[in-house]
Structure formats: structure tokens, C-alpha cells
Amino acid sequence: MLPLLDGDLAEIMLACATGTLKPEMVKWSNKAAVCVVMASGGYPGSYAKNVAITGLQEANNLPDVVVFQAGTKEVQGQVVTSGGRVLGVTAVSDTIANAKEKAYAAVDRIHFENAHYRTDIAWRALRRK
């Protein structure tokens, strides 16, 4: 949802904290967002930690893509896995189909041993169209 926010999140949060939030401060884009979670092999059971992740910069450099790190940490300058749900690879576009295509294109650039993710993200939304 956050990539669809059309405004300054810090300003909105400050207004929430100070009780000065106005409805016009919160605007949403009419675009679509799709997020593919990349998980550690074995998740939700046991899984390896400290597995090197490559391709994050390449994925983040794609237009309309942002990679949210969840189960990661940095060890000696290298981003590695540290949790089961490792990354949320999110793309925004004018349609769900295009956002899905962009998200999976970004996923294809990211690598870590035993990474897994669902390949059917957004199928229900696409079927409704």
C-alpha cells in the first residue's frame, strides 16, 4: 500500500502524532501495486541464516520497483538473510498485470540460496478483471 501513497509520509505521521491530520493530506494513487515475498528455503519451518543476497541494487534500479527488506541484515558490507520472509519486492504500474510483470522482473534479478516465492501472486485480482 505504501508505494501508492501520494504524499509525504513523514508529514502525515507528524500530523497524526500532533492531532493535526486533515483528510486532504492523505491521497492515494489510482495505480496498482503488486508485492512478491521472497522467503528463505524451509520457511515457515527451519531455514538457513546469513545467506548472501545479490541483485538488490539491480532490482531497485528498475522503474517503479522498490524492494523492502524484512528478514535481512548486513554482515561486513554484504546483505544476508536473517529471517524467513526476507524481501517484499513491490512494483507499481497502471494495471495489476503490468505491476505483476514488473515485480517478477525484479525478483528475477535477486538471488540467494534456496530462495522461494509464489508464482501466482495477483491471480485473483486478474481473474476479476
CA distances to 71, 84, 124, 126 from 43, rounded to whole Å, are: 11, 5, 24, 27
Using CA atoms, how far apart are residues 58 and 79, in angstroms rounded to an integer? 14
Q: Residues of the chain with pLDDT > 70: what percent?
A: 99
Using CA atoms, how far apart are residues 36 and 94, in angstroms rounded to an integer? 17
What's the rounded mean pLDDT across residues 66-73? 97
Q: Which amino acid does the sequence have at 87?
A: L
pLDDT tens-place string over residues 30-44: 999 999 999 999 999
Burial of residue 102 (CB within 10 Å: 0-12, 13-18, 19+) is buried
How close are the terminal C-alpha atoms of the chain, in Å?
A: 20
Q: What is the dihedral of CA 44, 46, 49, 55, to 10 degrees?
A: -40
What confidence tier does 18 reach under pLDDT thresholds 50, 70, 90? very high
At residue 125, the pLDDT reads 85
pLDDT tens-place string over residues 91-128: 999 999 999 999 999 999 999 999 999 999 988 888 88
What residue spans define the domains of the chain? 1-29, 31-118
**31-118 CATH, one of 3.40.718.10, 3.20.20.70, 3.40.50.1000, 3.90.600.10:** 3.90.600.10
What confidence tier does 1 reach under pLDDT thresholds 50, 70, 90? confident
* CB count in 10 Å sphere of residue 16: 12
Q: Does residue 129 have a pLDDT over 90?
A: no
At residue 7, the pLDDT reads 86
Using CA atoms, how far apart are residues 122 and 96, in angstroms rounded to an integer? 7
At residue 2, the pLDDT reads 87
What's the rounded mean pLDDT across residues 7-14? 94
